[in-house]
Each structure stands twice: as structure tokens, then as C-alpha cells.
Amino acid sequence: MRVLIVDDSKAMRSIIGRIVKELGFEVLEAGDGQLALAQLEGAGSVDLCLVDWNMPVMNGIEFVEAVRGKHAWDPVKLMMITTASDVEHVRRALEAGANEYLMKPFTKEMIAEKLAMFGMGSN
């Protein structure tokens, strides 16, 4: 299983990357939505994208909408992982096509629980 972590914070990509590697995923990274789209185009299959909301160039919602706008990527699961915690942000993300929403700060267990909902992860 391959996961693409989309976050403008290198530290956050590293933290999330370490967690999902422990859960059995191969990890790809991108610092914004536009770079992530390029990764999706060239990476072959990606099973899951973990996406921050606030990023330069192309934010998380724009990325989710772009992914959902291309039928070839319909099987890709999208989960927002962000500090935006109000109901309006959650609603917008889900309406845009995100499958799940996780608020920062989070734990390994919280990520594992969300991935289990998708039938993903080994631990």
C-alpha cells in the first residue's frame, strides 16, 4: 500500500511518514497540492493521500477537488489531517470529496483507527 503525504511542513511529513511506515505503508511526499498532483500522475498507484488544508500554491481542498475531478483517481482514499477543527471545515472537506478528516494534534493510534476504517494498515 502506498500513501502520499501532502503537507507544506517537512516536520509534519516526517512525523506522519514515520507513523504510516510503521503501519506498513510505502511513503511518498509532496509539499503542496500541485506537487502532489504531479506525484499522482507519475507514481503509478497510490492508495491513500493524507492532506493538510493550509498550504501554498494549491491548498488541501483544491487538491481534493482536483483528485476527485479525475475518474482514474476515484479509488484513491483522501483524508484531511489539519488543525482546522470547526464543523464548517469538516463539511467543506467531505463535500469536496475527502473520505475522512483527522484533526491535529493526533496520535499513531488515531491514524491507525482511521486507516482501519478504510481496511488499511497492518497494525
pLDDT tens string 11-64: 999 999 999 999 999 999 999 999 999 999 987 789 999 999 999 999 999 999
Confidence of residue 81 (pLDDT cuts 50, 70, 90): very high
Rounded Cα gap, residues 73 and 46, in angstroms? 9
> Is 0.75 topped by the overall pTM?
yes
Kindly indicate the confidence band of residue 98, based on its pLDDT and cuts at 50, 70 and 90.
Answer: very high
The yes-or-no verdict on residue 123 having pLDDT over 70 is: no
Pick left, alpha or beta for residue 121 (phi over 0 → left; psi -120 to 50 → alpha; otherwise beta): left
DSSP state letter for 23: T
What's the N-to-C CA distance of the chain in angstroms?
A: 13
- Within the chain, residue ranges assigned H as helices are 10-22, 33-42, 60-68, 87-96, 108-117
Q: Inform me whether the pLDDT recorded for 85 exceeds 80.
A: no
d(CA 108, CA 75): 24
Hey, what domains does the chain have and what are their CATH numbers? 2-117 (3.40.50.2300)
pLDDT for 84 beyond 90:
no
